Structure 1
Amino acid sequence: MLIIYIVIAFGAGLAELFTGTFYLAAVALAALFTAITGLLLPGAVLHWVFLGFCLVLLPAGVWLRHRLAGKSGDLGDFDLGQGVDVVSGPDSNQQYSVRYRGAEWLAVVDDGPPPHPGDRAVIIAKTDNLLHLGVLPKQDSGKEPLCPPSSSS
């Protein structure tokens, strides 16, 4: 009787690797725990033990899956805070064309002075394909920059 639960545990565990759900992992654990419990209890009650483990572990797997899915939704947008180069603008809709990740995007300025082509800005929000920018005011310190501008040939 124990070998049946070991086969169920192995089969469900293997199937779990291909599906990525927590449900089959819970069934595999329940079968494994039942096989271990079978060393102490008679074989006639193992079906009930397996059912009991499934009734406990399946809802725990559902809860764990939803909890992990909720935490992954908390990941921020990786584009926020990234710098862009202003290419042109503003047009009649007060939108700018900016270069970001090798492509041109439409953007609006939400914070700071209006930029000029060649200025740098920072992405502070995104709405669909429209970037919202924050522009820092230019500060002329009168000092020479520490690093000379790079010449790209």
Structure 2
Amino acid sequence: MLMVYVVIAFAAGLAELFTGTFYLAAVALAALFTAITGLLLPGTVLHWVFLGFCLVLLPAGMWVRHRLGAKAKGLGDFDLGQEVDIISGPDNHQRYSVHYRGSEWLAIVDDGPPPALGDRAVIIAKTDNLLHLGVLPRQNSGKEPPCPPSLSS
């Protein structure tokens, strides 16, 4: 009888990995706890023990899922405020190519002057795979240019 609950625990735990719900995890835990309890109690009461564990762990699983879902809604987009490098553009639709997170993204400028190649910008919004940028002002490096300006008269 113990092996039945071990198989139920294994099957429910494996199915949980593919579905991502907490309900099957609760059933897997209930079956595992029942198998452990079966070492101390006779096999005739294990069905009732399994039912009791399910009645306790299923609502607990629903509560945990609800709590995690509420916390996830409060998370913002981690891409906002990150800097990107302008690598090309603009194309016919006024979109630029930018380098961000090791790959090339399409972006449009929502705030600031039109950027030049090599300029830095900040992500201010994101719609699907399109980044909305705010262009950062150019930084003066403080170095003199390599060639002095020519004096034309």
TM-score (norm 1): 0.65
Q: 1:97 aligns with which of 78, 92, 95?
A: 95
**Cα drift, residue 88 of structure 1:** 4.9
1:107 aligned counterpart, secondary structure:
strand
- Counterparts of 2:110 and 2:87, CA distance in 1: 11
CA deviations 1:100-125 (Å, max 9, x no partner) are 24657351332x4x134333322222
Q: Does 1:35 align with 2:44?
A: no
Equivalent pair of 1:105/1:129 in contact (CA under 8 Å): yes
Counterpart of 1:117? 116
Aligned alpha-carbon RMSD (Å): 3.4
Where structure 1 has 5 or more consecutive residues not aligned to the other structure, the ranges are 146-153
- Counterparts of 1:35 and 1:56, CA distance in 2: 16
**Cα drift, residue 142 of structure 1:** 3.5
Equivalent pair of 2:79/2:123 in contact (CA under 8 Å): no
**Cα drift, residue 126 of structure 1:** 2.0
Equivalent pair of 1:107/1:131 in contact (CA under 8 Å): yes
Closer/same/farther in 2, CA of residues 141 and 100 from structure 1, 3 Å limit: closer
Q: Does 1:46 align with 2:46?
A: yes
Q: 1:2-151 residue pairs with structure 2 within 5 A?
A: 2-73=2-73, 74=75, 76-78=77-79, 80-85=81-86, 87-88=88-89, 96-101=94-99, 105-110=106-111, 112=112, 114-118=113-117, 119-128=119-128, 130-143=130-143
TM-score (norm 2): 0.65
Where structure 2 has 5 or more consecutive residues not aligned to the other structure, the ranges are 146-153
